[in-house]
Amino acid sequence: MFKRFLPKQNNFFEILNELAESVLEAAKMLDEMMDKQDNFAEYSHKIHFIENRCDDLTHQVISDLNDTFITPIDREDIFALVNSMDDIVDTIDTIASRMSMYKLKAKLQFGPQLTDILLIQTDVLFDVVKNLQNPKQTTEKIVQVKTLETEGDIVFKDALLDLFENEKDVVELIKKKELLEIIERAVDKCQNAATVIEGILIKNM
């Protein structure tokens, strides 16, 4: 009977680690998809499979939170971190789905640069989450994620300038603009996750 009140510390951290690793996997696949500009439907299907896995992990954490009296860190922080990572993979899934649906006539300029930034962010976040119990140089890594978000803003603005200057097909312009906006949103969501982790560390240092 009392087992449900014991802290499932290892379980929570394992699930968080698996979730962060899945987000990184989705970002890698999106970056590859953007570089190759081919097999959009196949990439979209694989990314959606990862997104479903992340949904399952998110639901598992919520279920564990409801069944656990004592948690290794505040339950609202666990919930916020899980949701912030799930938001990233949801947005990556949306990008892949739109890429498959829109069938662009030409390569999305600046798209690869933005997904490169997103990939680096998710890699750093995975490293931070993996070492959440024993953080080392975590502050620098959080700053790196936020700095990358600023770089993403600059690339996004350059992408819009290039798009409005060179794209003459109105329908293509609308499609590309939306895609760039969603990728930029994914970069922003990585910063949100870093902010959540920063708050957790400040409370538990």
Convert the pLDDT of each residue in 126-168 to its tens digit. 999 988 877 777 888 999 999 999 999 999 999 999 999 999 9
Label residue 117 by pLDDT band (50, 70, 90). very high
Query: What is the reported pLDDT for 68?
Result: 72
What integer best gives the mean pLDDT of the chain?
A: 90
73-90: average pLDDT: 92
52-63 pLDDT per residue, tens: 999 999 998 888
Please state, in angstroms and as integers, the Cα–Cα distance from residue 96 to each residue in 3, 22, 28, 85, following that order. 42, 15, 12, 17
% the chain with pLDDT above 90? 70
CATH of the domain at 156: 1.20.58.220
Number of C-beta neighbours around residue 46 at 10 A: 17
Q: Say if CB 200 and CB 82 are below 8 A apart.
A: no
Residues 6+ apart with CB under 8 A from 68: 4, 5, 6, 7, 8, 75
How much is the pLDDT for 88?
98
| pLDDT grade for 115, boundaries at 50, 70 and 90 | very high
Phi-psi region of 153 (alpha: psi -120 to 50; beta: other; left: phi over 0): alpha
Residue 71, classed as helix, strand or coil, is: coil
Indicate the range of 4-18, 103-117, 136-150 predicted with least confidence. 4-18
DSSP state of 11: H
Overall number of domains in the chain: 1
Q: Which domain holds residue 181?
A: 2-204
What are the φ and ψ backbone dihedral angles of 137, each rounded to 5 degrees? Answer: 55, 30
Quote the pLDDT of residue 184: 97
Please state the rounded mean pLDDT for residues 60-72: 78
